[in-house]
Amino acid sequence: MAARLLKRTGVSSEICERLKRQQIESCKDLLSLTTIEVMQAAGLSYQQTSVLLQTVSKAVAPPVTTALDLWKQNSDSCFSTSLPALDKLLRGGLPCGTITEVTGPSGCGKTQMCLMLSVLATMPKSEGGLDRSVIYIDTESAFSAERLVEIAQSRFPDYFSCKERVLQMAGRVHLFRELTCDDVVHRLEKLEEDIISKGAGLIILDSVASVVRKEFDTTLPGILMHRTNLLGHKASILKYLAHQFNIPVILTNQITTHLGDRECASSARADSGYVTAALGNTWSHSVNTRLIVQYVNAHQRQILIAKSSVAPFAVLNYTIKKQGICIDGNDNQETLYEGTDPGLQPIRVRTEFTSSLTGPVD
Ligand SMILES: Nc1ncnc2c1ncn2[C@@H]1O[C@H](COP(=O)(O)OP(=O)(O)O)[C@@H](O)[C@H]1O
Ligand SMILES: [Mg+2]
């Protein structure tokens, strides 16, 4: 909320311009100042400043909503994944207005999932989509337009049999390649405008972990705290955007080695460590829903619901095919598993890689 731009709060454009010249753009920027400082920066009287501060404070104060209001909005509150078994567990799909993280080992299908969801978001509501565009922030240069089109045409052959629709779909996925932490933060800080101008109904950040882990050596003193603050800043912007526009935000995350033994984690264990989601415990609290993808064997993989406010711990087997992620078996398969703290949930990696778990612990 505090990241909201002043010009979206009803403050006149003249005052916004005056404040912007002094680098005061967001509600947080303004509300962090004393009344005197605001008077000077905006060139307003004490009374006018009080009115300005009241307007901005009201804009950032979360509105009171009743459970009844939310219940009535239920049909708009989820984004169907086109995977009925997963949607059923998540009571309709990925929740709008909140952050969903997909975490797992390299090559397990996180980007495939993002591409598949991008296709879906652009499709009409009658076809199960959102009929909106997508903002796709790619920090790993992993986005492939060819694969996006392949997934679209293989998954929905009837709908995408018409070339016009393929072109329209691809034209609605807006790609931003941001390869440093600063670039990602700048992009996120300016995203509100892009969401409005492009009519975005889905934000994807693939991945949140790669640039952060590359740039921050957490073995050095003080760096971990700096990184935690930066991640907190990113999370607060994304939460604000998700909430403000009531859209789903999907992030991907990587894995790390958690040192220490864990009795029930035998399948994911290697020597005295086990594999779990990267970026630590504080970060794991920032995401509302955590889906973990992991290997069963070279071909088969699993998706775990490791954190959700509506679904139990659950596991579904899947295979990656030409048409993207495909859940194996029928929709009524036995799915529950004994989960644990989502920040510590062990993740199964390919066994040939588990013997070299020597990377940084974060
Ligand atoms: N056209 C395709 N058909 C089947 N499987 C594919 C296809 N394209 C990619 N894959 C699978 O997707 C995997 C890569 O998934 P990806 O989403 O890039 O992983 P990551 O989790 O690292 O983001 C490959 O290892 C491959 O198994
Ligand atoms: Mg990827």
Cα(295)–Cα(285) distance, integer angstroms? 24
**Full residue range of the structural domain in which residue 21 is found:** 6-60
pLDDT value for 264: 44
Whether residues 135 and 283 fall in one domain: yes
pLDDT value for 267: 47
Choose among 224, 255, 267: nearest CA to 343.
255
User: Hey, what are 126's tokens?
Assistant: 């009658």
Q: Are 90 and 311 in contact, with CB atoms under 8 Å apart?
A: yes
pLDDT value for 119: 98
Residue 362 domain flag: no
Q: Are 172 and 122 in contact, with CB atoms under 8 Å apart?
A: yes
Q: Return all residues near 231 (Cβ < 8 A) that are at least 6 apart.
A: 208, 212, 279, 282, 283, 286
Distance 285 CA to ligand 2 centre (A): 22
Residue 114 domain flag: yes
Crossing angle of helices 110-122 and 163-171, rounded to 10°:
110
Last residue of a domain, one of 34, 60, 86: 60
What helix, strand, coil percent values describe the chain, rounded to 5?
45, 20, 35
pLDDT value for 31: 95
Residue 138 domain flag: yes
Distance 129 CA to ligand 1 centre (A): 23
Exposure pattern of 200-231 as b/e (b: 16+ CB <10 Å)? bbbbbbbbbbbbbbeebebeeeeebeebbebb
Is the peptide bond between 32 and the residue preceding it cis, with omega within 30 degrees of 0?
Answer: no
Cα(25)–Cα(106) distance, integer angstroms? 39
3-state secondary structure of 138: strand
Whether residues 111 and 45 fall in one domain: no
Write the pLDDT tens digit of every residue in 244-264: 899 999 999 988 887 765 544
Whether residues 56 and 71 fall in one domain: no
Residue 83 belongs to domain with CATH number: 3.40.50.300
Whether residues 242 and 352 fall in one domain: yes
Distance 252 CA to ligand 2 centre (A): 8
Residue 51 domain flag: yes
Distance 19 CA to ligand 2 centre (A): 40
Which helix (H) or strand (E) segment is 348 a member of?
Answer: none
Whether residues 197 and 283 fall in one domain: yes
pLDDT value for 360: 47
Ligand 1, pocket residues at CB < 6 Å? 104, 106-112, 142, 147, 150, 320-322
Whether residues 165 and 274 fall in one domain: yes
Atom of ligand 1 nearest to the CA of 150: 1
Whether residues 215 and 143 fall in one domain: yes
pLDDT value for 272: 62
Residue 97 domain flag: yes
Residues in the chain predicted with pLDDT less than 70, given as ranges, are 1, 73-76, 260-272, 332, 334, 351-362
| β-sheet bridge partners, residue 275 | 257
Q: Are 133 and 78 in contact, with CB atoms under 8 Å apart?
A: no
Residue identifier of the C-alpha nearest atom 12 of ligand 1: 109
Atom of ligand 1 nearest to the CA of 142: 18
Ligand number with the minimum distance to the CA of 107: 1
Distance 109 CA to ligand 1 centre (A): 5
Exposure pattern of 337-353 as b/e (b: 16+ CB <10 Å)? eebeebbbbbbbbeeee
Atom of ligand 1 nearest to the CA of 111: 17
Cα(306)–Cα(7) distance, integer angstroms? 39
Q: Are 177 and 226 in contact, with CB atoms under 8 Å apart?
A: no
Whether residues 205 and 336 fall in one domain: yes
| β-sheet bridge partners, residue 155 | none
Residue 100 domain flag: yes
Total residue length of the chain: 362
Q: Return all residues near 189 (Cβ < 8 A) that are at least 6 apart.
A: 3, 237
pLDDT value for 16: 95
Whether residues 196 and 137 fall in one domain: yes
Whether residues 294 and 148 fall in one domain: yes
Last residue of a domain, one of 25, 45, 60: 60
Ligand number with the minimum distance to the CA of 147: 1
pLDDT value for 351: 61
Whether residues 16 and 130 fall in one domain: no
pLDDT value for 221: 78
Ligand number with the minimum distance to the CA of 142: 2
Last residue of a domain, one of 18, 37, 60: 60
Atom of ligand 1 nearest to the CA of 106: 22
Q: Are 12 and 73 in contact, with CB atoms under 8 Å apart?
A: no
Whether residues 195 and 275 fall in one domain: yes
pLDDT value for 362: 62
Residue 304 domain flag: yes
Cα(358)–Cα(257) distance, integer angstroms? 8
Number of domains in the chain: 2
User: Hey, what are 123's tokens?
Assistant: 């499709």
Write the pLDDT tens digit of every residue in 331-361: 767 688 888 888 888 888 876 544 444 444 4
Sequence letter at residue 308: S
Residue 348 domain flag: yes
